[in-house]
Amino acid sequence: MSNHPQQNAQHTPRNNKSGHNWGKKIVAFFKGGNTVVKTILLLAIVALILLGLGHFQKQGWGHKKINRSITNTITEIKKIKEFCTANYCDETIVTATRKRRIGQDEIAIVVKGTVRAGFNLEEMNTVVKNDTSIVVVLPKAQVLDVITNPSDCETFVETGRWTPRQVTKYKEIARQRIRNHAETDGLLKDAEEHGKERLRLLFFSMGFKDVTVVVEE
């Protein structure tokens, strides 16, 4: 039993000495030795370093760089704000009468209008799972505006005197009626479907392979 501690005590210094000797041999090799062999060895070391850098880039550095680019692009998309995905054209007529002592005044206004529907992209949310997969959550589709130009309004019948304020009031009634028709005929549903498809194609063009677009409940 007394020999075993002696062997263990001698074993450790021998290994340290051996490692130290190897270090001296490597230094001596680079100071002297064959130039061709040294060049090959140095190239091999450089290649290993580059492979290591490539591995780290795949594991984290490159991924973060791509994500920053994606984040910047999504920020620019949100700046669009109003994203029109469906239009609805309609025509309506508004009539009004006003009694007088003798007879009555009448007015009939024909109004043509276009209802634009879509999304407020500022409220869009995205979840980037990885470089090829993204989930896009859109807000509910909404009416963006109702466009009725002066040339789209025609006074069909007018008897008596009607003030500009009264005429504007009836035109506004026509605008609201056109909007109601659009919503009843499913404009918002069409806007949601078209919007999901257009954004899906947009993110596909950005390099994503798995794109899910949903509308919030």
Q: Structure tokens of 39?
A: 């060049």
**CB count in 10 Å sphere of residue 114:** 16
Beta-ladder partners of 109: 94, 155
Rounded distance between C-alpha atoms, residue 208 and residue 76, angstroms: 17
Instruction: Work out whether strand 133-138 and strand 210-215 pair parallel, antiparallel, or are unpaired.
Output: parallel
Q: Which of 84, 139, 94 is nearest to 115 (CA)?
A: 84
Burial pattern 167-203, b for ≥16 Cβ within 10 A else e, equals: beebbeebbebbbebbeeeebbebbbebbbeebbeeb
Task: Tokens for 171, please give them.
Answer: 């035109």
pLDDT of 132: 87
**Mean pLDDT, residues 80-95:** 94
The reply to whether 27 falls in a domain is yes
pLDDT of residue 95: 94
Domain that holds residue 34: 3-60
Domain-located, residue 69? no
86 and 44 within one domain: no
Nearest Cα to Cα of residue 80 among 213, 183, 195: 195
User: Is 159 contained in some domain?
Assistant: yes
pLDDT at 43: 56
185-204 pLDDT, tens digit per residue, is: 999 999 999 999 999 999 99
Under the banding of pLDDT at 50, 70 and 90, the label for residue 36 is low
| 123-152 pLDDT, tens digit each | 999 988 888 899 999 999 999 999 998 888
Mean pLDDT of the chain: 79
Residue 26: how many other CB atoms lie within 10 Å? 11
Query: Are 32 and 92 part of one and the same domain?
Result: no
Q: Taking the model in full, what pTM does it have?
A: 0.65
Residue whose tokens read 């003030």: 163
Percent of the chain with pLDDT over 70: 69
pLDDT band for position 31 (50/70/90)? low
Task: Please check the confidence at residue 75 and state whether its pLDDT lies above 50.
Answer: yes
pLDDT at 14 over 60: no
pLDDT higher at 169 or 65: 169
Do residue 134 and residue 181 come from a single domain?
A: yes
| Same-domain pairing of 126 and 156 | yes
**pLDDT at res. 13:** 46
Place of tokens 């508004």: 94
For the cut 80, the answer to whether the pLDDT of residue 174 exceeds it is yes
124 and 201 assigned to the same domain: yes
Q: Residues 6 or more apart from 14 whose CB is under 8 A from it?
A: none
pLDDT at 166: 92
Cα 129 from chain centre: 13
Residue 111 phi/psi, 5-degree rounding, is: -125, 130
| Same domain flag for 134 and 171 | yes
Query: Same structural domain for residues 44 and 93?
Result: no
Asked if the structure places residue 68 within a domain, the reply is: no
